[in-house]
Amino acid sequence: MSLSIDDLKKRNLLLLEAISGSRAYGLDTPLSDTDIRGVFVLPEEEFLGLNYVDQLSNESNDIVYYELRRFVELLSKNNPNMLELLNMPEDCIRYQHPLYKLFKAEDFLSRQCQATFAGYALTQVKKAKGLNKKIVNPVEKDRKSVLDFCYVVQDQGSVPVEEYLDTLGLSQEEMGLSKIAHMHELYGLYYHPEENFKGIIQREKANDVSLSSIPKGLNPLAVMSFNKSGYSKYCKDYKEYWEWVEKRNDARYENTLSHGKNYDAKNMMHTFRLLDMAEEIAQTGQIIVRRPNREFLLKIKSGAYEYEELLRIAEERIAAMDALYAQSPLPENPDLEKINQTLIEVRKKFYKEN
């Protein structure tokens, strides 16, 4: 029988259940969700057998419980979400088993936190940059075709091929193309009323131009360029943009638009929270979950600062992190032997009590 979230409480398998996320950080607003994180111990027979389950969650991942071994494995890698569970504010702890107190933050914190906290903050900065580009440069739903990237040489410049053909009363389907030797993405553009050419493209969603067999002695109407690399980049941008539109959190996106600064302010707020925590861990060896600078972080979330200003400050703080961690008394890595002994002790005692 498979284990469910309801079973964790019914069968007394919990080590910890706590309110996490914005409410634990003290950054919640009336519209904030309530996230739950916890740790459980798999029943002994299932742990020893083939039915190991490393975590349980609901469909939205607002509620996630980690099996003891998976929890300790992530702690040993200095995973920020797991480390936070070692120092949750008292008002966020719903249940805590006495054995849970055997897990102490000082046994896990190491210089790996530079990568897991500050490194993750860096990925958030990059994500914010990408999102900023998507907001500032939306891609039209009507997809462009190969023809939109084809131009004909005219006078001292160029004109779109469709505009050129329109002036001649011709259609792209009547045209023939032939590559011009030794000239990258340049083609001779041909027309003859008695020739059955293939056209510039053979179908609307074609990904390349179509070449025709050109009769000997027929001169081209014009020289045409197809910006193939530009078309390929457009296709990539189009796909990424509309996948993002499909998956984005619309309420969060509307908040981004409402403050008018064209960046994901919630994303940027968490970037600064992670940087704060990375610096605190290096300097004090402590995990401070409830944020003391709530007002500043919520001002970021409300869009009170310019995107470029926040980006500059974040990148400066990330650049200074190497020196901060080089001077930190933290060990390079956690003591895995000690951690392993604690894990074994907790599991044995839990099974004995149950």
Q: Give the residue with greater pLDDT, 67 vs 251.
A: 67
Average pLDDT over residues 30-38: 91
Q: How far apart are the C-alpha atoms of 321 and 117, rounded to whole Å? A: 10
What is the reported pLDDT for 243? 84
pLDDT 10s digits, 286-307: 999 999 999 999 999 888 888 8
Task: Tell whether the model's pLDDT for residue 175 goes beyond 80.
Answer: yes
C-alpha 143/C-alpha 210 separation (Å) is 19
CATH 3.30.460, domain 1-104+334-354, yes or no: yes
| Start-to-end CA span in the chain (Å) | 19
Q: How confident is the model at residue 144 (pLDDT cuts 50, 70, 90)?
A: very high
Residue spans per domain, the chain: 1-104+334-354, 109-138+249-331, 146-229
Q: Hey, what amino acid is at 166?
A: D
Spatial strand order in the sheet of 186-190: 157-160, 150-154, 222-226, 186-190, 176-179
> Please, which pLDDT band fits residue 55 given cuts at 50, 70 and 90?
very high
pLDDT band at 244 (very low <50, low <70, confident <90, very high): confident
Question: Which token pair is 143?
Answer: 């997809």
pLDDT tens for 192-207 read: 999 999 999 999 889 9
Chain segment 337-352, per-residue pLDDT in tens: 999 999 999 999 999 9
| Mean pLDDT for the stretch of residues 254-271 | 68
3-state secondary structure the chain: CCCCHHHHHHCCCEEEEEEECHHHHCCCCCCCCCEEEEEECCCHHHHHCCCCCCEEECCCCCEEEEEHHHHHHHHHCCCHHHHHCCCCCHHHEEEECHHHHHCCHHHCCCCCHHHHHHHHHHHHHHHHHHHHHHHHCCCCCCCCCHHHHEEEEECCEEEEHHHHHHHHCCCHHHCEEEECCCCCCEEEEECCCCCCCCCCCCCCCCCCCCCCCCCCCCCCCEEEEECHHHHHHHHHHHHHHHHHHHHCCHHHHHHHHHCCCCCCHHHHHHHHHHHHHHHHHHHHCCCCCCCCCHHHHHHHHCCCCCHHHHHHHHHHHHHCHHHHHHCCCCCCCCCHHHHHHHHHHHHHHHHHHC
pLDDT reading at 92 higher than 90: yes
Paired strand residues for 20? 35
- Statement: residue 145 has pLDDT above 80: yes
pLDDT of residue 328: 96
pLDDT at 23 over 70: yes
